[in-house]
Amino acid sequence: MFTYTIDRDAILEVVDEEVSRIADSAYGEDGTPLYDFVTITDRDADPLDRLVSDAVASVAARFRDVCRHSVSGGSEALEFYVPDFDETNNGDLAEDEISRYIIYSVTAKFLAQRHPASVPEYTDRANAALQKAVSILKTRKAPLESWT
């Protein structure tokens, strides 16, 4: 069993960094800076939390045959039943790609109304991260070398 623990605060911190980076370079057609329009504010906390939930649900749906979303005692996780998964060598890689998918997916959906021009970039990044996560989690352990 491979478990990915969802750290919403860490995810939202990186989403804020990504959105700030886009906001910093956003200008209107007349050259007016759009930072204040694009950036995340306190009013965005609930919508962002829902976007994280949507992204987590998307991961669980993509892995519906081997994944369960669990919430217990304030802890939230995705539990993957992948018995041949080499967690020692690939666990960190899988965690990184799942995190990237969630971060880029949330960023793309958040920016959809505030800076649509950046949405394709983040959608592509999210899709690539999810595909890498699929590849990593579906890779089986190498057979023991002692067989030869």
In this structure, the dihedral spanned by the alpha carbons of residues 126, 131, 132 and 138, taken in order and rounded to 10 degrees, is 140
Residue type, 12: L
pTM above 0.85, yes or no: yes
pLDDT digits (tens, 9 = 90+) for 83-131: 888 888 899 999 999 999 999 999 999 999 999 999 999 999 999 999 9
Q: Would you put residue 18 in left (φ > 0), alpha (ψ -120 to 50) or beta?
A: alpha
Measured CA to CA, the distance from residue 134 to residue 131 in angstroms comes to 5
pLDDT digits (tens, 9 = 90+) for 11-52: 999 999 999 999 999 998 899 999 999 999 999 999 999 999
> Of 51, 20, 15, which Cα lies nearest the Cα of 36?
20
